Amino acid sequence: MLATSSPDGVPDLGPKGSIFVADKDHLAYLERTHRDHLGNLRKNPHVAVMFYDRDAAIPMARFFGVAELLESGEERAALRSQVIHDELNKDPDDKAVIVKIRVDRIVMPRGTFTRA
C-alpha cells in the first residue's frame, strides 16, 4: 500500500502491485495509472509504504521517504527491467513513470530505524 498527500494535506492510499526493493536505500514501483498518486507526487514527494505478509518472518513494516519521478533515461530503464511482468504487461506502450523512493525511516514491530 502506498500513501501520498496533496500539498494541502489530503491523503490518498492505494495498492501498488509493482513495489520492489531497488537497492539498500530505495524502493521503486511502476506508476502506470497517472492518477491521484502521481499528481500528489509531482507536488509533494513525501510517501509512506506499508508492507504486510502475515506469513513472513517480519509480517509488517512501514517505510517513509521521499519519491523521485523517473520519466526517461537509463536509470528508469534499469529499474523498469526489475518490475514484475504482470505489471509491465499493463503498460504495453511504456508510458508509465518509475517512482524511486529514498527510504528515510522504517517502522517495524521490533523497532524504528532512521537514516543516519
Interval 17-74: pLDDT, tens: 899 999 999 999 999 998 999 999 999 999 999 999 899 888 899 999 999 999 999 9
Give the 3-state secondary structure of residue 87.
helix
Tell me the CATH number at 30.
2.30.110.10
Per-residue confidence band for 115, with pLDDT thresholds at 50, 70 and 90: confident
Give the residue carrying C-alpha cell 524504528.
Answer: 112
What pTM was estimated for this model as a whole?
A: 0.93
Other Cβ atoms closer than 10 A to 58: 10
Instruction: At 69, list the grid cell.
Output: 519521478
Q: How many domains does the chain have?
A: 1
Q: Which domain holds residue 18?
A: 2-114
